Structure 1
Amino acid sequence: MAGFVNIRRDVDDKFYRYRMPVLLTKIEGKGNGIKTVVPNMSDVARALSRPPTYPTKFFGSELGAQTSVDEKNDRYIVNGAHDAKRLRELLDAFIDKFVLCGSCKNPETDLIITKNELIVRDCKACGERTGVDMRHRLSTYILKNPPKNKSKRKGGHAEAPNPSNEANGTAGAADIDEAEAEAGSGDDEMTKRIRSEASELNTESQLVDEGWSADTSSDAVKARVVAVTSGVTSLGLIGPGEDESDEDADSPYTQLGNWVKEYPGCNAVEVYKKVQELGIEKKHKAVQILAQALFTSDIISEIPSYLPVFQKMVTSEKHQKALLGAIERLAGLDYPELIAVIPRILMEFYQADVLDEDVVTSWGTHVSKKYVDKDTSKKVRKASEPFLKWLAEAEDDDEDGE
């Protein structure tokens, strides 16, 4: 039977009251099928007041390994052979990043998702709310699979921490008071609809605060009519191998492309609402149009702002290929300077779980003339080789685990 250790293993006090079971591991299988099972993951997670899927996914992210979860049979698996010492070290890292209060280092915290889709640790001991690293892949997973806190505040969400405090891991009292005041107002129907479909998107109340609405003045209407009649083909959004027959001025794709050009700087919620308005939120071509219209030569800094839209809309291999096609056109035709940063672009979408390893690998090894000419297609794929190599080496490390 496993013993118990302090949740903070840097604390030697034998009277320290926050304890958890020692993490156990069991290696099963052999060869390419070897895997590490954590038989007491549920017990450890219960002591940390976190779902057992969170530390499991954290292990996979840090080790570059695939994970599998069978909650019904209480089996939590990390592919590859990993010794207990290494996983216990990673568990300490998980506790530090996603359990301990950033202010008092007390583990008595709940994870709360704010209205701005940030994750904060709400400490029951000192009352502080401190942010977590939103760049970590586990943060994306948590947004998609939010914790079921037993004692949520009214409204279910808290306001985001003050940006000035977030840098040092604290949230001010004024921010908490404001959060509690706003939480009591509840969410409207649009907010509930968007949140139920995609936790990545902001709330309707934010749109109202920002004063976004359609300009119905005569000048604005005329401007939109002129923009629509220009057509998507005039924007260069259609590839050489694609069917242009339906891209007239009334096409929803034409309207979407021109709308983005007409309203530069539109945020993720505005974009998704427009896509819904046009009824093309599930169409793969809408993904391509958006990527080409939203992004510029500064795509690396622009991607984080629009990731929520792509995380919501990219739901199949066909959608992923459309996104990759848009990247081909952006780097191969519109902004040649982006050729040098193709690996970084792919990494941004991969780490956000928008692009899958198999799809990117297949794309990178098969030249296509669907979106650009053959020579440009080769050039873009050649530039992607460092990222493809990294994927292959990560897979090899997974298989050779020990």
Structure 2
Amino acid sequence: MASAGIVNIRRDVDDKFYRYRMPLLTTKIEGKGNGIKTVIPNMADVARALSRPPTYPTKFFGCELGAQTSFDEKNERYIVNGAHDANRLRELLDGFIDKFVLCKSCKNPETELIILKQGRTEDIIRDCKACGERTGVDMRHKLTTFILKNPPVKIKKGKKKTGTGDAAAGVGGGGDSPDAEASPVENGAESDDELTKKIKAEAKDLNDDTTLTKEEWSADTSPEAVKQRIKALEGGLAGVSIANGEDEGSDDDANSPYSQLGKWVEESKDSHEGDTKAFLVAAYKKAEELGIEKKHKSVLVFAQALFTDDVLNEIPQYGALFAKTITSEKHQKALLGGIERLVGLSHPDLLPAVPKILMALYQLDLLEEEVVTQWGTHVSKKYTDKETSKRVRKASEPFLKWLEEADDDSDDDEQ
């Protein structure tokens, strides 16, 4: 899906760098006459981003429109009877999100639904993992009857070194803290989907392709040449002071310094007239002006604003800026988070290229082996939804395997 098909979960937030994203709801009209119906092809993907079963928003549409609904969960087919405009259903989805997803207190979508029983009375509660508040839903809405009859699937928590299930509670794995690292990638997930099989097949000879050749990168963007430019850039930035302090503010706020930085980079990156070094220095000074040049979220913003579907050629171009701003494991993880969003949400066609992307970053010393290995074996909801996180990590397996084998060879040489 192209980036145009990704929108903010809260569509009232006009911020490209808003953390919570979902696919734009799509529709398809089928049938004629009394048999006409509206199929929602990507309802499963939308619901996954909301951490809700796809039956809930589909049934919500039916309640609001006075229409019959039907689901074929095995084939991910969700239908509302009648012909309904896509924009109308998107507006209704906003209503569902407001009533059954967003925390009533902080308006954050990082919630799970819980059913509380008190005697014969049952209430549906939104348990927010962001602010900790528990807020009730309007039990007068018709959807609540459906939810009570089809309650959220609760998955038992537990430490699993080789587990086969998600270590989460609530609807669709929505029980993780937004910043928490979830359980390691499960052995049970070894029943690889076709995409993973394709990636593995194409990358099984990765050991023979560990050097990014001049043909792939062109002579002036080889790792050696880029490292020389990094040193030159660092010399140009030597006099720039770096402020101390912890992360402040929210990257979800359209007026936050992170949003301002991202918008500035997007507007300026094509206007430097070929002088990439001058642009990178200016970008760093812009971050300094906003007081966030040392913060790991700035690395995430740079990755989102700079990288496109041509990321393999852009990494050596912009590597110097990341070399200057990445100063800790947290910064490296933010860079990986940017890559997750790039290939998982904006440009899924890049998934097979994940091993080469990681290799390029690794060769420029932007990522350390330990950080990549830990990232690759721990699914996280910090930067994307859990399913996207899993897909990106699956795609990274050939590179992780190469790292492990390279490390084994190094150990053998030392003996």
Normalised-by-shorter TM-score class:
0.3 to 0.5
Q: Report which structure shows greater RCO (CA 8 Å, sep ≥6).
A: 2
* TM-score, scaled to structure 1: 0.42
* TM-score, scaled to structure 2: 0.40
